């Protein structure tokens, strides 16, 4: 029997930003914390590296840090993290969409500029946008209050009571209807021009909400309004600025963050978690809590089983379609047909709601989409430190992509293994980019293709390349994330808790799951 190596109040599995946020809060409340990560570096999907050529720093997956910078967690720990090197770059032109005819529409923190772009497509939609922005201040507390609330019946009942008092019965019913709407349902009843609908609808795809999926209307609305009001925030030098600062802050408070330390199993007896055993045989004792920042399907394997119902719920947890990443080192920015696009952080190539719906359906069927959606990140427009002088780093998400390939919707790619399919599918994506930014290939100095399979291999939480660690559809959201009765991260084993994007409030860089859990454990 291996001897106990170390003992902590809380032992955390995985060093993603949620577990790191939980560890920092617990350490600040006097807990002795130890974080153990299988990968060589902390951060999970939030990391940065020179994946193409020396001097070009690329964000591996997450790039947009607006949720983190605006989170309740950062409000409390922002000054501490800043002392440890956390730094952001503000983005005044957060996103735009490029269309096949060379036109574009986007959102800028300059209201006049946004209205001019929308008015060029539809004066009626420009008036609608002005009205929505004017009402955002009244709606934001309700939406952010819901997203920041613990998913327990008492907390939810209190939220509904406050909403009823503020909005009345009719207003509350309208609010509820909005929460249940699909992106297409809300967008087509709110805006007239297909380009404006597509610009906002693309944001639903970031969280697995294709245009016709119920419950997705909130995300295009929030991204649009927040982009107008606040812009966007990216990490100075890379998204890993938050991870490096979190690790440094934990260590400064006496905590341990150990990488290249994969966990073999969670130790428990008499229904209580006692610690973990690492693959190298070391046993780490947890006096108060074991916090697992893992995808739900991994939990039964680590515990050896809890209760049949809970384990079945973890195993059937549904993941979203995958994403391919393409990192490009460029001699210059893309030569967009719409020249104004050179000044935006994100450019979506997702020309219509119908095309997004078709792409999503094909990926869900296991097919390589004939026309994948591209999210083109241009971080060096706002943060030139990420590339050598005069050069640029491009960040491409190719959505959607099946984790397991059953065929090709276009009938061109015969391979059904990502090792062979990645290159031709990336070429398909670059062909799409070239149609909007002609000559892009002539500007490529280096590139790195990361398939959904490689994303999962590098980080097992990204099952099938699912960057949001689980679908956010209504049956797996709110009280049901990751399953009914466990939206607070609890498990049938006492002192064992689940955290991460699979737990309410879900994906994104806001650290909500980790912070909510840590506050619960520490008594706020």
Question: What was the pLDDT predicted at 362?
Answer: 98
Quick check: 495 and 9 in contact, CB under 8 A?
A: no
Name residues of the chain where pLDDT drops below 50: 1-2
Question: What was the pLDDT predicted at 3?
Answer: 63
d(CA 465, CA 467): 6
Question: What was the pLDDT predicted at 148?
Answer: 82
Establish how many alpha carbons lie within 13 A of residue 152's alpha carbon, considering only the half-sphere containing its beta carbon.
Answer: 9
Name the residue among 427, 421, 452 with its Cα closest to residue 440: 427
Name the residue among 233, 227, 196, 190 with its Cα closest to residue 97: 196
pTM of the predicted model as reported, rounded to 2 decimal places: 0.96
Question: What was the pLDDT predicted at 1?
Answer: 37
Establish how many alpha carbons lie within 13 A of residue 151's alpha carbon, considering only the half-sphere containing its beta carbon.
Answer: 22
Transcribe 71-98 into DSSP letters. Answer: SHHHHHHHHHHHHTT--EEEESS-EEEE
Give all domains of the chain, ordered by start, each with its CATH number: 4-46+239-317+469-522 (3.50.50.60), 131-228 (no CATH), 321-458 (3.30.519)
């Amino acid at each position: 029997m291996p001897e106990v190596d170390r003992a902590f109040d809380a032992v955390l599995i995985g060093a993603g930003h949620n577990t790191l946020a939980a560890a920092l809060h617990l350490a600040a409340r006097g807990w002795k914390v130890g974080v153990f990560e299988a990968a060589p570096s902390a951060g999970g999907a939030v990391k940065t590296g020179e994946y193409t050529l020396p001097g070009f720093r690329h964000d591996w997956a997450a790039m947009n840090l607006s949720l983190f910078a605006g989170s309740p967690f950062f409000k409390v720990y922002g000054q501490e993290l800043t002392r440890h090197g956390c730094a952001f770059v503000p983005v005044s032109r957060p996103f735009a969409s490029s269309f096949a005819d060379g036109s574009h529409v986007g959102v800028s923190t300059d209201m006049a500029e946004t209205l001019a772009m929308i008015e060029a497509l539809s004066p009626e939609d420009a008036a609608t946008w002005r009205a929505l922005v004017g009402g955002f201040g009244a709606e934001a507390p309700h939406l952010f209050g819901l997203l920041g609330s613990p998913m327990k019946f008492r907390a939810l009942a209190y939220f509904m009571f406050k909403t009823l008092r503020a909005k009345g019965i009719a207003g509350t019913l309208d609010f509820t209807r909005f929460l249940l709407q699909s992106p297409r349902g809300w967008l087509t009843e709110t805006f007239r021009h297909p380009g404006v609908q597509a610009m906002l609808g693309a944001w639903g795809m970031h969280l697995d909400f294709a245009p016709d999926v119920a419950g997705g209307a909130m995300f295009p609305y929030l991204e649009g309004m927040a982009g107008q009001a606040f812009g966007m925030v990216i990490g100075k030098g890379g998204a890993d600025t938050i991870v490096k600062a979190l690790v440094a802050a934990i260590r400064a408070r006496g905590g341990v963050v150990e990488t290249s330390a994969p966990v073999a199993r969670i130790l428990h007896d008499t229904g209580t978690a006692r610690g973990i055993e690492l693959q190298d045989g070391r046993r780490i004792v947890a006096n108060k809590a074991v916090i697992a920042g893992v995808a739900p399907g991994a939990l039964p394997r680590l515990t050896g089983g809890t209760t049949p119902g809970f384990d079945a719920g973890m195993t059937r947890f549904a993941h979203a379609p995958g994403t391919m990443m393409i990192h490009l080192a460029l001699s210059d920015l893309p030569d967009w047909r719409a020249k104004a696009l050179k000044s935006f952080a994100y450019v979506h190539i997702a020309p219509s709601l119908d095309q997004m719906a078709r792409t999503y359906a094909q990926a869900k069927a296991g097919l390589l989409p004939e026309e994948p959606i591209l999210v083109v990140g241009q971080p060096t427009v706002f943060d030139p430190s990420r590339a050598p002088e005069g050069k640029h780093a491009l960040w491409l998400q190719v959505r959607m992509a099946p984790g397991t390939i059953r065929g090709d919707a276009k009938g061109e790619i015969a391979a059904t293994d990502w090792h062979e399919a990645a290159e031709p599918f990336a070429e398909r994506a670059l062909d799409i980019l070239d149609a909007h930014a002609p000559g892009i290939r002539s500007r490529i100095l280096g590139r790195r293709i990361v398939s959904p399979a490689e994303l999962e291999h590098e980080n097992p939480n990204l099952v099938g390349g699912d960057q949001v660690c689980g679908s956010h559809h209504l049956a797996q959201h709110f009280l049901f994330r990751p399953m009914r009765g466990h939206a607070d991260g609890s498990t049938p084993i006492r002192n064992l808790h689940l955290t991460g994007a699979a737990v309410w409030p879900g994906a994104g860089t806001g650290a909500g799951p980790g912070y909510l859990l840590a506050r619960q454990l520490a008594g706020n």
